[in-house]
Structure 1
Amino acid sequence: MLTLNDAERLNPLSDDMRQAFLAALEAAMTDEAVRSIVLTGAGGNFTAGADIRQLMLAGGPDPARSRRRLTPLHRAVEIIAGGPKPVIAAVEGAAFGAGLSFASACDFVIAGEGARFGAAFGKIGLTADCGLVWSLPQRVGRTLARDIMFTGRPVKAEEAHRIGIVDMLVPAGGALSAALTKAADYRGIAPLAIAAMKSAFVRGPGSLNDALAFEIQQQPMLSMTSDHAEGVAAFREKRQAIFTGH
């Protein structure tokens, strides 16, 4: 479980938070003992997004610094969306800006009643970032994604669930527990199989031929794994498979 933790200020993504989050995410993705990742926030909020105090610097705009600050967030989104392990967002309270981007890139989003999502980038003269123009339309469709980003309006949990930002809605305060239960559900699937499917999903819808070509590359390799042999044996023996990621 990875927790964004600066609760007094709604867990804003300061420069230090960005670097620490990326390091923790990379470590979790490469740790063989970790089968899935739950992303949450401390103090009853997910994250309010960018640390606005760090946007207001003496000396005026600095495009080079802006690029440097985006780099760890971009890498984090790439890992969330395309990394080999499932990532589940457990959202309570505010999930604004990059918080919505992170959630939208996750494999499954669970929110507590009372959660709020928003993309008010345009209200401070900026474009949506952290891949939101890629991830949000996949969840809600292009028209709704445009409306959410063009208006910057907050989307309450009930609407977010209805339109597809949220995959499961639970009572307030219950998102983390539900996310941990969902993470346990994924343990019944071979890790290398999940990694292959995530790699296919992140390539985008593409054409049928693209999908078939990717399958013919991945499936023969997976057929050689110990997990495949274990899965077949467990099926024959009518028992739960024990997968190791090899």
Structure 2
Amino acid sequence: MCLDLKRTDAIATITLSRPDRGNAINIELADALLAAVTACETDAAVRAVVLTGAGALFCAGGDIDAFAQAGSEASGLMQRLTGPVHAAEVRLARMRKPLVTAINGAAAGAGLGLAVMGDVAIAAASATFVGAYSAIGLSPDVGVSWWLPRLIGLRQAQRLLLLGDRIDAVEAERIGLVTRVVPDDLLMATAMAAAGRLAHLSLPAFQRTRALLLEAPMTGLEPHLELEVQALTACAEGPDAAEGIAAFQEKRQACFQA
């Protein structure tokens, strides 16, 4: 089994599980990831998702041994792999449910893209981050070249993707690549606590806020203000806004249902 999916209350945990291969992505894992993400997206009982890896690494990226074995057919294999992984990433980024990434070790190549896309990205102190593409003559995939400039700016993205620098968890937190660094033995507890907080949010409001944040770098001020108005009024028309306002006035925690 190359992936494990389990649900605890309202939180689904997806664990990449090829620890003997550093959770490197092969066709089986790519397909399993898309299936797991689809299951989380469509399960009404799931209100937050945690993505992590089994063993010492979060994800070593694409399976280099499989590329080597494919020989002249390597480009076709890469296209086959990126299809389901990219579909999974889009679903994770667009679904109405929050994503927490629990980065338990090295995140390289495609693994870097998966690691940093969390709405909250928690890194173990032992985690490291590296683009890895330039060292093997490849360009980025899995959204790495999309996420990095937005999260850490162009210069730092160039550092990771062109120079191929490897950075540790402390540096990753300093430059804004991850949300927080915690001791290794507290990683999953911290990630689950963050997912628990997110699971109590209004999911429609969360989804619209996430979309505004992702669209902001590509939108001028006036158009973005209009998008904010549209999102705000749509939230106000739903039941969660009424519940949130009532809870605030009554000095209690809101119980969002949407």
How does the TM-score come out when normalised to structure 1?
Answer: 0.93
Q: Which consecutive residues of structure 1, in runs of 5 or more, have no partner in the other structure?
A: none
Q: 2:146 aligns with which of 103, 124, 134?
A: 134
Instruction: Give the counterpart of 1:228 among 230, 236, 241.
Output: 241
In the TM superposition, residue 201 of structure 1 has moved relative to its aligned partner by 2.3
Shift of 1:62: 4.9
Structure 2: distance between partners of 1:25 and 1:125: 30
Please give the residue correspondences for 1:91-170 in structure 2 after superposition, counting only pairs within 5 Å. Answer: 91-170=103-182
Residue pairs, 1:1-246, within 5 angstroms:
1-58=13-70, 60-205=72-217, 206-245=219-258
* SS at 1:38 equivalent: strand
Greater strand proportion:
2
Judge conservation of contact 2:67–2:74 (CA < 8 Å) in 1.
Answer: no
The 1-side partners of 2:120 and 2:245 are apart by 27
Which stretch shifts more, 163-172 or 196-205? Answer: 196-205
Q: CA deviation at 1:174?
A: 1.9
Query: Aligned-pair distance for 1:83?
Result: 2.2
Q: Which residue does the alignment assign to 2:7?
A: none
Moved more, 140-149 or 230-239: 230-239
Q: Give 3-state SS (helix, strand or coil) of 2:93's partner.
A: helix
Q: 1:197-235: CA deviations, max 9, x gaps?
A: 122223242211222222232222222211112112212
Q: Structure 2: 5+ residue runs without aligned partners? A: 1-12
Fraction of identical pairs, as percent: 37
Count of residues in correspondence between the two structures:
245
**C-alpha distance in structure 1 between counterparts of 2:56 and 2:204, whole Å:** 34
> Is residue 52–residue 101 contact of structure 2 (8 Å, CA) maintained in 1?
yes
Paired residue type of 1:34? V
1:157-194, CA deviations, whole angstroms, 9 ceiling, x for partnerless residues?
Answer: 11111111121011123211111111122234211100
Helix, strand or coil at the partner of 1:16:
helix
Where in structure 1 do 4 or more consecutive aligned residues deviate above 6 Å?
Answer: none
1:75 shift after superposition: 1.4
Q: Give the root-mean-square deviation of aligned CA atoms.
A: 1.6
